Amino acid sequence: MEKSFLLRSLSFALVLLALFFPVPFLLAHMSMDGPWFDPFLGTVVWGAFLQGFASALISLLLGVLGAFGLLSLGQKRSRRQLALFYGMLILPGFVPPIIVVALVSKMFGFLPLGLFGVVFFHVLMNLGLVSVVFHRILLKKTNLWVRDALVANVKKIKIISGLMSALRFDLAWLFFYFFVLYFFSFSIPFLVGGSQFGGVEVFIYEKVMFFGQWGEAIYYSMIFFLSMLGLSSLLVGRDNIDFKPLRSNTFFIEAVAIPWGWVVPVLPFFLIIGGLVLSTSQIPMPSVFSALSLSIRGSLIVALLTGLGTFTLLTLVAFSFCSDRWSRFLLAMVHPGWVVVGFAFLLLGGVGQVSDFLKIGSALTILYFPFLFRLAFYENLQHLRQQVLVARSFPVSWLKIFSQVLWPQCLSVMALLSGIAAVWACGDFAMTGLLSQSTEVSTLASDMKGLLANYRIEQSLLYLWPLVVVSALVFFLFQGLAYVGSKKTSS
Amino acid sequence: MNIRFFFIYLFGLVLALGVLFFPYFMFDKQPLRDKNSLRVMTYSSFIQKWGAGPEIARRFKEETGLDIQWINAGNAGLLIERLKFKRESDQPDMVVGLDQFSINEARRFFEWHDVHLINDEIEESLLPEGGHFFDFVAYDWGPLTFIYKEGEVDPPHSLLDLLEPKYRDHLILQDPRMSSPGLQFLLWVVVTLGQEKAFDYLEKLKPSIKVMSPSWSSSYSIFKLQQPTLVFSYFASPFFHQIEENDTSYKASRFSEPHPVQVEYAGVPKFCQNCDGAKKFARFLLRTDIQKILMTKNYMFPVDAQALVGSPFKVPKDVKYLKPIESLSLIKKKRDLVNLWKKAFY
* Spatial distance between the Cα atoms of A140 and A244, rounded to a whole number of angstroms: 9
Q: What does the DSSP 8-state code read for residue B129?
A: T
Domain B143-260+327-345 superfamily per CATH: Periplasmic binding protein-like II (3.40.190.10)
B184-236 pLDDT tens trace: 999 999 999 998 899 899 999 999 998 888 888 888 888 887 778 899 999 99
Domain A31-282 superfamily per CATH: MetI-like (1.10.3720.10)
Burial of A220 (0-12, 13-18, 19+ CB in 10 A): buried
Question: Which CA distances in Å does A31 have to A25, A54, A344, A435?
Answer: 12, 38, 14, 21
* Spatial distance between the Cα atoms of A232 and A180, rounded to a whole number of angstroms: 9
- For chain A, which residues make up each domain, given as ranges? 1-27+286-491, 31-282
Closest CA to A335 of A224, A426, A193: A224
Q: Which residues of B touch A403 (CB under 8 A)?
A: 1, 3
- For chain B, which residues make up each domain, given as ranges? 37-141+262-317, 143-260+327-345
B163 Cα to chain A: minimum distance (Å):
19
The predicted structure's pLDDT at residue A490: 44
Residue of B nearest to A104 (CA): B225
Answer whether A1-27+286-491 and A31-282 agree in fold.
yes
The predicted structure's pLDDT at residue B307: 94
Answer whether B37-141+262-317 and B143-260+327-345 agree in fold.
yes
Flag if A352 and B28 touch (Cβ within 8 Å): yes
Q: What is the mean pLDDT of residues B36-51?
A: 88
* Spatial distance between the Cα atoms of A182 and B175, rounded to a whole number of angstroms: 21
Neighbours of B1 (CB within 10 A): 16
**Does domain B37-141+262-317 fall into CATH 3.40.190.10?**
yes
Virtual CA dihedral for B187, B191, B192, B197, nearest 10 degrees? 90
Q: Which residues of B touch A434 (CB under 8 A)?
A: 74-75, 78
Q: Which residue has the higher pLDDT, A256 or B261?
A: B261
The amino acid at residue A114 is: G
Say which of A111, A212, A437 has its CB closest to residue B72: A437
Give the three-class secondary structure for B169.
coil
Q: What is the mean pLDDT of residues B142-164?
A: 95
Q: Is residue B87 within a helix (H) or strand (E), and if so which, with residue range?
A: none
* Spatial distance between the Cα atoms of A141 and A148, rounded to a whole number of angstroms: 13
Which residues on neighbouring strands pair with residue B138, listed in sequence order?
B265
Flag if A408 and B1 touch (Cβ within 8 Å): yes
Flag if A486 and B29 touch (Cβ within 8 Å): no
Burial of B32 (0-12, 13-18, 19+ CB in 10 A): exposed
Closest CA to B2 of A245, A456, A169, A481: A481
ipTM confidence: 0.78
Domain A1-27+286-491 superfamily per CATH: MetI-like (1.10.3720.10)
- Is omega for the bond preceding A286 within 30 degrees of 0, making it cis? no
B325 Cα to chain A: minimum distance (Å):
19
Q: Any CB–CB contact under 8 A between A145 and chain B? A: no
Closest CA to A315 of A18, A109, A95: A18
The predicted structure's pLDDT at residue B19: 81
Neighbours of B121 (CB within 10 A): 10
Selected residues 86-105 of chain B with any CB under 8 Å from a CB in chain A: 87, 90, 105
The predicted structure's pLDDT at residue A451: 83
C-beta separation of B2 from A485 below 8 A: yes
Whether B345 has a pLDDT exceeding 70, the answer reads yes
The predicted structure's pLDDT at residue B32: 56
Q: Is residue A244 within a helix (H) or strand (E), and if so which, with residue range?
A: none
* Spatial distance between the Cα atoms of A116 and A197, rounded to a whole number of angstroms: 10
Flag if A111 and B80 touch (Cβ within 8 Å): no
C-beta separation of A378 from A330 below 8 A: yes
Q: What does the DSSP 8-state code read for residue B286?
A: T
B7 Cα to chain A: minimum distance (Å):
8
Residue of B nearest to A432 (CA): B74
Closest CA to B188 of B20, B341, B52: B341
A434 Cα to chain B: minimum distance (Å):
5
CA atoms within 13 A on the CB side of A218: 24
Q: Any CB–CB contact under 8 A between A41 and chain B? A: no
Q: What are the two backbone dihedrals, phi and then psi, of residue B173, each rounded to the nearest 5 degrees? A: -115, 175
The predicted structure's pLDDT at residue B301: 96
Neighbours of B217 (CB within 10 A): 23
A39 Cα to chain B: minimum distance (Å):
9
* Spatial distance between the Cα atoms of A74 and A86, rounded to a whole number of angstroms: 11
Q: Which are the contacts of B187, defined by CB distance < 8 A and separation ≥ 6?
A: B260, B327, B330, B331, B337
Q: Any CB–CB contact under 8 A between A18 and chain B? A: no
The pLDDT averaged over each successive group of 10 residues in chain A (491 residues) is 81 90 80 70 88 95 92 73 81 77 76 88 93 85 78 82 86 86 84 77 80 80 80 60 46 77 89 78 56 86 95 94 84 79 81 87 93 86 88 86 88 91 88 82 85 79 83 89 67 39
Q: What are the two backbone dihedrals, phi and then psi, of residue A403, each rounded to the nearest 5 degrees? A: -75, -25
pTM: 0.82
Q: Any CB–CB contact under 8 A between B175 and chain A? A: yes
